[in-house]
Chains A and B, each alone.
Chain A
Amino acid sequence: MIGKFLEKIEKEKGFTLKELLQLFEERNVLCNKADQVYWIATLAERRFIFISASCEKMYGLPPEAFYQDAELWKKVVYSEDKEKLEKTRSVLWNGESVEQEYRIVHQQNGTVRWVLEQAFPVFGEAGNVAMISGIITDITKIKKMDEQLLLAEKVYEHTQQALLITDAQLVIQLVNPAFTNITGYGADIIGKSFHVLCAGYYDERFYSTVKKTTIEKGKWAGKMRWRRKNGKAYVQQTIVTAIRDCEGKIIFYLFLLAGMWPNNKTAATVKDDLKLAREVQKRVLSKPLTASRINIYGMYIPSRELGGDMYAWYRIDEERYGIFLMDVMGQGTAASLICMSVRSLLNGVIRKGIDPQEVFGELNKHMRQLYHENGRMMYYFTAIYVLVNTKERFIEYASAGHPPGFLFQKNGLVEELDQGCAPIGLLPHLYVETGKLHYEPGATLVLYSDGAIEGASRSVCTNIERFREQLKPHIHLDSKTMIKFIHNQFEEKREFPDDLSVVVAKLW
């Protein structure tokens, strides 16, 4: 066929095929010059008879370069794709059609571009393959979009955040596995109306408000009540964003169910760890102590899993006992760690220093060394320390910025333990004033953290007074019963935001 045609045009018009194709090219008959190259090559010599001028744009080389160098087409292929292309070319020279994607290197600017080559045999008179013809299309843009799509797809698939996409009419287009995990809905929901997911909870007005807010403000955020496939409801913070096309028209709505869906296993591990830490924290609190002239009992209710209160007591010698109660600024893990570090020191500090000045001085040093970063105050704690001399029947104490403890005397007098110094860890050096109080057998000493005096009034003094009056009618009870009473009182309220600890010592 092609032979006859060639003969005819050569005879009649004196045209060669190349000239004809050049003419076609000029008239825009062959291919889209912007991103396509058309070529035709002889099968025997494997030489280009024609290559469209658009090759200059795609390869950075003029057609002449390809006519002169028969091997040039190999040289412009990106190195990694050369081998692949050689293989398919051999198929092509056997007269079969080939379609393949590969990369080329632009010879002027060195950029790598993706192309799609579609090559096919051109038949001769006897139906034999006479020539090979092909169209090369630049598909770099499409490839990039494909990659982005693939990336987006993977992100949807692997993200822990549940998401859903609808079209502008709220018809569901896409849900990701995280969404399926929560709701039970997978591919089965695609194509259905969004309303199915909130069935029975909202009316058209709600959807209109969401749409309106999204259009006007760019997004809508709020708690949305969803319905799972099994019918059960769940409420989730949801953000709705509008996705617009290049003309600004809304084409999709993206629903993001806020927050990572909790990884149950991790959450459980953290919970177990906290439980363990809390248990350890409780265990370091001193156990009740009973001796002939003193008995001590304590209680501690942390406001959260881990708290910043701690108490301990020690028998220093036959006559003397040291009682200590502290409250770290703030709560939580950091506060509890400070408690533990102080606790580990306390035994040695109290037995060595014994009197309040020494004990607080030593603890202050510890806090300054450990918790002062670049000289800046990071953490501090308030504390009260009471040294009880059971033989001489007096107490020596100091309060480091701590609410005053009470000494309920047998005769009804209540003395407040308000001497001392600034909280521990705030200042480089502490100047500790100590107080000394005598007591008669039957006196009751009560130490507490500020959880006990947080309440209705802004006045700390009023709250302290109230707590003191609350205790007064019960000071005849033994320390264990008294602690139980206080515990019940606070447990009933259970609204206090701070840790609460109380120590009661009966002095005989």
Chain B
Amino acid sequence: MMRTKHGAIHVFTWNEDITLNNTEQFRKAMAKLIEEPADHLILNMEQVKYINSAGLGIIADGVMTARKQQKELVVAGVQGSLQEIFHIVKFSSFIKLFKTEKEAIHYFVENDNI
């Protein structure tokens, strides 16, 4: 896990597969990310190859909670098998997904003139 800041953007990097063993940790880490005093949040999942259904639920819930607080949470590092999972569950229909962190940061900078 790693937390970095790029101006007004908070990046949280989760670097292991999300399985039954660490679902709770992931839930807590996500709750913490959303509480960050920043409106632009990036969850970087570059290292993640697999996510279970509970993990997907946590991300979807995180996105909706952030939205309620007028924040935006996007997911970066969505590639390979993770991209396939996100495609099947159709997360792109309500979450901004980016291949790299750079693209995600770029998205926020472009849209909000940060």
Q: Number of A residues whose C-beta is below 8 Å from B?
A: 25
Binary per-residue interface labels of chain B (58-98) against chain A in the complex, 1 for a CB within 8 Å, 0 otherwise: 00110010000000000000001100110011110110000
Q: Number of B residues whose C-beta is below 8 Å from A?
A: 19
Nearest CB of chain A from residue B82's CB, rounded to whole Å? 9
Contact segment of A155-163, A340-348, A401-409: A401-409
A380 to B64, CA, bound (A): 14
A380 to B58, CA, bound (A): 11
B 28-66 contacts with A by CB, 8 A: 49-50, 53-54, 56-57, 60-61, 64
Nearest CB of chain A from residue B15's CB, rounded to whole Å? 16
Are A329 and B60 interface neighbours, CB within 8 A?
A: no
Contact of A382 among B81, B89, B94 (CB under 8 A): B89
Q: Let me know if A268 is at the binding interface, CB within 8 A.
A: no
Contact of B80 among A376, A427, A428, A459 (CB under 8 A): A459
Are A428 and B64 interface neighbours, CB within 8 A?
A: yes
A431 to B90, CA, bound (A): 11
Binary per-residue interface labels of chain A (377-399) against chain B in the complex, 1 for a CB within 8 Å, 0 otherwise: 10010100000000000000001
A422 to B50, CA, bound (A): 18
Q: Let me know if A280 is at the binding interface, CB within 8 A.
A: no
Neighbouring A residues of B60 by C-beta, 8 Å: 377, 380, 422-423, 426-427
Known A-B contacts A329-B57, A330-B54, A458-B50; A427 and B64 likewise in contact (beta carbons under 8 Å): yes
Q: Let me know if A135 is at the binding interface, CB within 8 A.
A: no
Neighbouring A residues of B89 by C-beta, 8 Å: 382, 401, 422-423
A422 to B89, CA, bound (A): 6
Q: Let me know if A461 is at the binding interface, CB within 8 A.
A: yes
Q: Let me know if A34 is at the binding interface, CB within 8 A.
A: no
Are B90 and A422 interface neighbours, CB within 8 A?
A: yes
Neighbouring A residues of B85 by C-beta, 8 Å: 460
Known A-B contacts A329-B54, A377-B61; A422 and B94 likewise in contact (beta carbons under 8 Å): yes
Report whether over half of chain B's contact residues are helix, strand or loop; otherwise say mixed.
Answer: helix
Neighbouring A residues of B54 by C-beta, 8 Å: 329-330
Contact of A376 among B61, B90, B91 (CB under 8 A): B61
A 188-218 contacts with B by CB, 8 A: none
Q: Which residue of B lies closest to A331 (CB)?
A: B53
Q: Which of B50, B53, B61 has the most CB of A within 10 A?
A: B53
Nearest CB of chain B from residue A308's CB, rounded to whole Å? 10
Are B90 and A421 interface neighbours, CB within 8 A?
A: yes
A420 to B90, CA, bound (A): 8
Binary per-residue interface labels of chain A (443-468) against chain B in the complex, 1 for a CB within 8 Å, 0 otherwise: 00000000000000011110000000
A461 to B83, CA, bound (A): 10
Neighbouring B residues of A399 by C-beta, 8 Å: 90
Are A330 and B53 interface neighbours, CB within 8 A?
A: yes
Neighbouring B residues of A428 by C-beta, 8 Å: 64
Q: Which residue of A lies closest to B80 (CB)?
A: A459
A458 to B51, CA, bound (A): 10
Q: Which residue of A lies closest to B68 (CB)?
A: A375
Are A377 and B57 interface neighbours, CB within 8 A?
A: yes
Neighbouring B residues of A461 by C-beta, 8 Å: 84
Q: What are 28 A-to-B residue pairs whose CB atoms are below 8 Å? A: A329-B54, A329-B56, A329-B57, A330-B53, A377-B57, A377-B61, A382-B89, A401-B89, A401-B90, A418-B88, A421-B90, A421-B93, A422-B93, A422-B94, A423-B89, A426-B57, A426-B60, A426-B61, A426-B64, A427-B60, A427-B64, A427-B94, A458-B50, A459-B80, A460-B81, A460-B84, A460-B88, A461-B84
New A-B contacts (18) at CB < 8 Å, excluding given A329-B53, A401-B88, A421-B93: A329-B56, A330-B54, A377-B57, A380-B57, A382-B89, A401-B89, A402-B88, A420-B90, A422-B60, A422-B91, A423-B60, A426-B57, A426-B60, A427-B60, A427-B94, A459-B81, A459-B84, A460-B85
6 nearest A-B pairs in the assembled complex, by CB-CB distance? A401-B89, A377-B61, A329-B53, A426-B60, A460-B84, A458-B81
Residues of B whose CB lies within 8 Å of any CB of A are 49-50, 53-54, 56-57, 60-61, 64, 80-81, 84-85, 88-91, 93-94
